[in-house]
Amino acid sequence: MRLAKKTSNLFRPRAATTSPGLDVSGLDGVIAVDPAARTADVQGMCTYEDLVDATLPHGLIPCVVPQLRTITLGGAVTGLGIESTSFRNGLPHESVVEMDVFTGAGEVVTCRPGPDGEHSDLFDTFPNSYGSLGYATRLKIRLEQVPGYVALRHVRFDDADLLAKTIREVAETAAYDGTRVDGLDGVAFGPGEYYLTLATWQEQPGPTSDYTGMDVYYRSLQQRETDLLTIYDYLWRWDTDWFWCSGAFGVQNPKVRRLWPKRWRRSDVYHKLIALDRRFDVADRLDRRAGRPLRERVIQDIEVPVERLPEFLDWFDAEVGMRPVWLCPCKAERDWPTYPLEPDRLYVNVGFWGTVHVGPEAVDAPRNRAIETKVHELDGHKSLYSEAFYDRETFDQLYDGAHLAAVKGRYDPQDRLTTLYDKAVKRR
């Protein structure tokens, strides 16, 4: 059983199939927005782009808005999402009030949190289950009040230890240098060149930057200390160039950028180009023709405790050597069994997306395997939207496989849904 979706933000191989999948085209809308209660009822396949378009006219946004426009609300909850408000609001599933889940048993059940919540075991285990327990058809979420503008400060750090210390202090106080901080993320461009971007919501208008035109957002971190964006442009600041990945298609070249239509400067367009490359092995063929070593695709998001961030960055520079990488602090308000971050402990998400020339051994994914080992060593976790190589015992230890299997047995007794391990790890 699978979903028939037009877009995907997964980067792991999936089995070829001729089956049509579940038609979810009718589950892509916003049912209602309640400005007084600051909540929204949303269908599971609604994209965050459409959700923000419905809530922002009320001066409201979801508590966490993942970076890419076509991420769906149901996808962000079952597959985890993150953004700059995660240091104070956690991950998207932590603002869910209730949800309807279509289970492997063919039933739609309404799940609520808490010891007395109906189907609370399914509610708690659903985050990071990636459809192995069912599919969210409706979610009720809390919203956050926002003004029209976001003031940014880009602060450079030369020392990773000081970077980690500052992240911890900002997360504890929600302030930096006496100014409130509403959003916090950053970029590591290379050893000794780290930036934190401190975002403050504000009503006061002013001249704003536009990174949907010729300017590229991530480069602005190195070029200016302050900036001002509309709240809308801030939410999608990373989508236009897919962080920095649009450079692989030449879109950051001014000559190409002038000719590349704005409507095509979107993450979903780049994702389709990547899919074409994988289908026809374009990059690998060009590398072979040029005599370059075979590439390994290293596309991952991991979380490590903030105090282990410097160690991970030093190791990553030495062993993988890919930059820039994204930094996004986050913490969980309580325990979520299938992605068991320690409650109230501050982690930093490190996102890195690209390729590394490694030679013939690239087919065995040595860099990805080394990353898994290091993250485990540092008491961290890895998201499962991309390739994973854990053995079954390690996987079950990291993602509480016994509990997940017990919940799956209750809501999918005939095993109509693929298990999480089979989805995330097994090659098919």
Per-residue pLDDT at 20: 72
Gyration radius of the chain's alpha carbons: 21
C-beta of residue 132 within 8 angstroms of C-beta of residue 408: yes
From 3.30.1180.20, 1.10.3720.10, 3.30.465.10, 3.40.1210.10, which CATH number describes the 3-146 domain?
3.30.465.10
Q: Where are the domains of the chain?
A: 3-146, 149-237
Per-residue pLDDT at 18: 61
Round to whole Å and give the CA distance between 273 and 268.
9
| Burial zone of 2 (CB within 10 Å; 0-12 exposed, 13-18 middle, 19+ buried) | middle
Round to whole Å and give the CA distance between 45 and 72.
5
Mean pLDDT by 10-residue block, N- to C-terminus, for the chain (428 residues)?
A: 72 66 90 98 97 98 97 96 97 97 96 93 97 97 98 98 98 98 98 97 97 97 98 98 95 96 94 84 83 93 98 97 96 94 96 94 95 97 94 95 97 95 81
Per-residue pLDDT at 174: 97
Any residues with CB less than 8 A from the CB of 319 and at least 6 apart, and which? 367, 370, 374
pTM of the shown model: 0.95
Per-residue pLDDT at 15: 61
C-beta of residue 103 within 8 angstroms of C-beta of residue 66: no
Per-residue pLDDT at 120: 97
If one counts every other C-beta atom within 10 angstroms of the C-beta of residue 99, the result is: 28
